[in-house]
Amino acid sequence: MSTLNQHERVNKGNFIDHLSKTLSWEKFLFAVGLFFFISMIIFPFYWMVSSSFKSGAEIAGRAPVYIPSSLRLDAYRELFDPAWKSFQNFGVNIVNSLLVAIPTALIAVVLSIMGAYASARLHFKGREWILNGVLIVYLFPAVLLMIPLFAMLSKVSQTFGFNVQDNLVILVLTYLAQTLPVALYMLTNYFRTIPDEIEQAALIDGCTRFEVIWRVTIPLAIPAIVTVGIYTFMIAWNEFLYAFIFLNDRSTFTIPIKINTIFNDPSPRPHVVMAASTIMTIPIILLFLAFEKYLSQGLTSGSVKG
């Protein structure tokens, strides 16, 4: 009996010791902090996705509905189903956004590979000047450029007789101007980490410069190139201001402008806005998760403006 008691006491002592060791103030604060951050971040996203499945009645009710009663597709049908009243034809906007974002990403990748190779590997006068210039351009705000661009483009459209407004090509060009400096800077830094000797060896073996770029430099720089491609895609996909200024015709609206239009509709339909936002956000989050390792590295090298 006494031995059992003793045994129990020892156990209890151990348990309290264990508890006081694991439950320190520090751990408590840590848990509270983590919970605070996670809930602050997740809730708006949860609200966006869950609201897209709510019915009109749940949206306009006397209190917010935190969990939709069922997965109703009303909002998505308004976006995509031509038979639905106030059909939004959202498919066109998705296509427009892709038509802007994919060419922007591809052209930015090609041009920045060329430029970065030149500024990382080739010796020419003005190289440092270009790199510093790129850094300064990187700090120019979009707001500063919107007025002169607007004036220039309306002048150009008048002179050459083509429509600059409602022209997705113009958007691609302005996004390129915004993203190329960053892309060039990132890739140049990456190319400089690739040992020069590999390329020298290929040159001595009789490869031309372009063969060296194609067969040696690009394969070695795939992580950085993928990062640049995804960044430029994301920037073009998310961009609001220039699209807002340059696009007036509904048939050319990209997704952000369309969401803005639905939001400002006289009869508020937040579930439709949330459905469109969900469609716009999910691919970006998935892209980010798929390439997170590269992208975080890119972020820490200070490469994304916004």
Partner 1 sequence: MAETASSKKRFWLLSKSMHASEVRLAWLLILPTAIIVFGLVLFPAIFSIWISFHKIGLYNLNDVFHAPFIGFDNYKSVLNDFAFKWGGPKQWGAWVTTIFYSFVSTFITLIGGLIAAILLNRPFRGRGLARSVFLFPYVAPVISVAFVWRWLLDPRPSGVLNHILINLGIIETQQAFLATRGLAIWLVIIFQAWRYFPFAMLMILARLQAIDDTLYEAAAVDGANSWQKFISITIPQIRYVLGAIFLLRLLWTFNKFDDIWLLTGGGYGTNVLPVLTYQFSFNMYDFGKGAATAMIMMAALVVFIIGYVLIIMRNSEES
Shortest Cβ distance from residue 103 to partner 1 (Å)? 13
The CA distance from 258 to 271, in Å, is 14
Residue 21 engages partner 1 in binding (rule: CB under 8 A): no
Q: In the range 65-94, which residues lie near partner 1 by CB under 8 A?
A: 65
Residue 174 engages partner 1 in binding (rule: CB under 8 A): yes
The CA distance from 78 to 99, in Å, is 23
Residue range at the interface with partner 1 (CB under 8 A); choices 2-10, 74-82, 161-169, 267-275: 267-275
Residue 290 engages partner 1 in binding (rule: CB under 8 A): no
**For partner 1, the closer CB: 14 or 39:** 39
Coil, strand or helix: which one is 271?
helix
Residue 206 engages partner 1 in binding (rule: CB under 8 A): no
Residue 26 engages partner 1 in binding (rule: CB under 8 A): yes
Choice from 4, 40, 83, 204 touching partner 1 (CB under 8 A): 40
Choice from 42, 169, 198, 222 touching partner 1 (CB under 8 A): 42
Tell me phi and psi for residue 139, to 5 degrees: -90, -5
Choice from 11, 86, 248, 296 touching partner 1 (CB under 8 A): 296
Per the listing, tokens 């998760």 go with 289
Choice from 2, 124, 205, 267 touching partner 1 (CB under 8 A): 124
Residue 143 engages partner 1 in binding (rule: CB under 8 A): yes
Sign of CA dihedral 235, 46, 253, 258: negative
Choice from 16, 41, 95, 222 touching partner 1 (CB under 8 A): 41
Residue 245 engages partner 1 in binding (rule: CB under 8 A): yes
3-state secondary structure string across 197-251: HHHHHHHHCCCCHHHHHHHHHHHHCHHHHHHHHHHHHHHHHHCCHHHHHHCCCHH
Residue 200 engages partner 1 in binding (rule: CB under 8 A): no
Q: How many residues belong to the site for partner 1 (CB under 8 A)?
A: 93
Choice from 90, 93, 274, 294 touching partner 1 (CB under 8 A): 274
Residue 278 engages partner 1 in binding (rule: CB under 8 A): yes
Choice from 155, 162, 192, 195 touching partner 1 (CB under 8 A): 155
Residue 180 engages partner 1 in binding (rule: CB under 8 A): yes
The CA distance from 273 to 264, in Å, is 10
Amino acid at 261: T
Per the listing, tokens 């483009």 go with 153
Contacts with 224 (C-beta within 8 Å, 6 or more apart), sequence order: 186, 187, 190, 191, 294, 298
**For partner 1, the closer CB: 156 or 198:** 156
The CA distance from 108 to 206, in Å, is 29
Q: Could you tell me if 129 and 204 are in contact, meaning their C-beta atoms sit under 8 angstroms apart?
A: no
Shortest Cβ distance from residue 9 to partner 1 (Å)? 31
Q: In the range 246-265, which residues lie near partner 1 by CB under 8 A?
A: 256, 259-260, 263
**For partner 1, the closer CB: 73 or 142:** 142
Q: How far is CA 174 from CA 36, 106, 148, 170, 179, in A?
A: 39, 14, 12, 6, 9
Residue 47 engages partner 1 in binding (rule: CB under 8 A): yes
